[in-house]
Amino acid sequence: MLFDTHVHLNVEQFEDDLEEVIARAQEAGVENMVVVGFDEKTIKKAINLVETHDFLYAAVGWHPVDAIDLTEEHLNWIEELASHPKVVAIGETGLDYHWDKSPKDVQKEAFRKQIHLAKRVNLPIIIHDREAHQDIVDILKEEKAEDVGGIMHCFGGSIEIAQECLKMNFHLSFGGPVTFKNAIRPKEVVKEVPLERLLIETDAPFLAPHPFRGKRNEPGYVKLIAEQIAELREVSYEDIAKQTSLNAKKLFGIS
């Protein structure tokens, strides 16, 4: 059994063959997935998917790259959706300093507002962090995000940043990059995370693991990520699959 904690089945890359992609994931042993919405269109699609597929759950939030487009109406809508029985987290939210569509102060404000929202509805937060490790940690601390905790999605920070996040009640989720031959840091960090705080994800259709790097990613490939982590930690694949799945269910309140 595998749990892909971060997948975008709700984007156009999967429009033509979604059911085949899902069938291949199930064949690979994927039992559950969280479909992450990050703007108006993808949130709507995520809700639609979880209402038609038992084993899918949704996260609803606003991506930092598009923070400039986030309105109070959107935030109210996201807060309403949070009470949907299959919405299990708020996000993805966070900071992304790679792209400059939204200025940093606008991103920070949108991030803080979504942390407040997550605390009001008592759901974990899914964090997107690109080239913004220290600001993310500072804001999580200032806003006392540890009350709800959540996931550092596709974690790419240092061991020191990992420790800060663990102290604040966050789980660390690893994806495709942990399989890249030249990715030294995630390979080191993934060995240090306490097993009960470890999660796996694909972020499909993005960030496909080796040997599919550069191609469209899909949730079935989460198996390759679990295998790589098992090898790095020198434990069995079954142990990683089972424990990360249990961790995800506990965090999302899925029985």
Q: For residue 110, what are the CA distances in angstroms to 103, 113, 115?
A: 11, 5, 9
Q: DSSP state, 147?
A: G
Shortest separation between residue 91's beta carbon and Ni ion, angstroms: 9
> What is the contact mask toward Ni ion in residues 148 to 187, using x (rule: CB under 5 A)?
----------------------------------------
Token look-up 């942990």 returns 178
Q: Determine the size of the site formed for Ni ion (CB under 5 A).
A: 1
Q: Which of residues 200-219 bind Ni ion (CB under 5 A)?
A: 203
Rg (CA), the chain: 17
Residue ranges in the chain assigned as alpha helix (H): 18-27, 40-52, 72-81, 104-121, 133-142, 159-167, 184-192, 222-233, 237-252
Shortest separation between residue 239's beta carbon and Ni ion, angstroms: 26
Nearer to Ni ion, 64 or 149 (CB): 64
Shortest separation between residue 206's beta carbon and Ni ion, angstroms: 7
> What is the contact mask toward Ni ion in residues 184 to 203, using x (rule: CB under 5 A)?
-------------------x
Shortest separation between residue 36's beta carbon and Ni ion, angstroms: 5
Closest CA to 201 of 180, 230, 226, 232: 226
User: Which residues of the chain form contacts with Ni ion (CB under 5 A)?
Assistant: 203
